[in-house]
Amino acid sequence: MRSIAALCLVALAMAGCGAAPRDSAKEYKGDERAVAAVVERIETAARDNDSAVVCERLLSSSLLAAVRKQGTTCRTGVKDAFRDADSLDLTVDDVEIRSARATAKVGYRSGSKDKTMTLELDREGGTWKISTIVLS
């Protein structure tokens, strides 16, 4: 695993192949829908092999700073993760918003196992961006 493990893991989880993905953001309204849409945009970027979208629009400044601090670039880490991705489908199971911070519980299947990750997002300039990734 590369030094930007968390970033790579989220990219791996979002890079499903095969059947068309279900847009689980449609199940939410308002800010909750905007948070869920970030997950959907990462999945789309992975399918399109577009690391620029992830790095320039979907990750928080604090997460990007942590990546730079580890001596690599976001685009390199995300491209590597896209290339190495398993076939996984994502579903936003729950969104909670507390002021300028949101939490999205994301379910996915890895091989034959159901798994969950938690994405924490911060509102930056009116846009939700991923700041923390917790795998469980």
Q: What DSSP character marks residue 29?
A: -
Q: How far apart, in Å, are the Cα atoms of 81 and each of 28, 32, 65, 116?
A: 28, 27, 19, 18
For residue 47, what pLDDT band results from cuts at 50, 70 and 90? confident
Find the radius of gyration of the CA atoms of the chain.
14
pLDDT average, residue stretch 64-86 = 80
Q: Classify residue 103 as left (phi > 0), alpha (psi -120 to 50) or beta.
A: beta
pLDDT average, residue stretch 63-84 = 83
What is the pLDDT, as a whole number, of residue 68? 84
By percentage, how much of the chain surpasses pLDDT 90? 38
Look up residue 89 and give its two tokens. Answer: 């489908």
Among the residue ranges 36-45, 70-79, 96-105, the one predicted with the least confidence is 70-79
Position 45 pLDDT exceeds 80: yes
Q: The domain at 5-135 falls in which architecture?
A: Roll (3.10)
Using alpha carbons, select from 61, 88, 84, 77 the residue that is nearest to residue 8.
Answer: 77
Name the residue ranges covered by the structural domains of the chain: 5-135
Q: Classify residue 71 as left (phi > 0), alpha (psi -120 to 50) or beta.
A: left
To the question of pTM greater than 0.95 for the whole model, the response is no
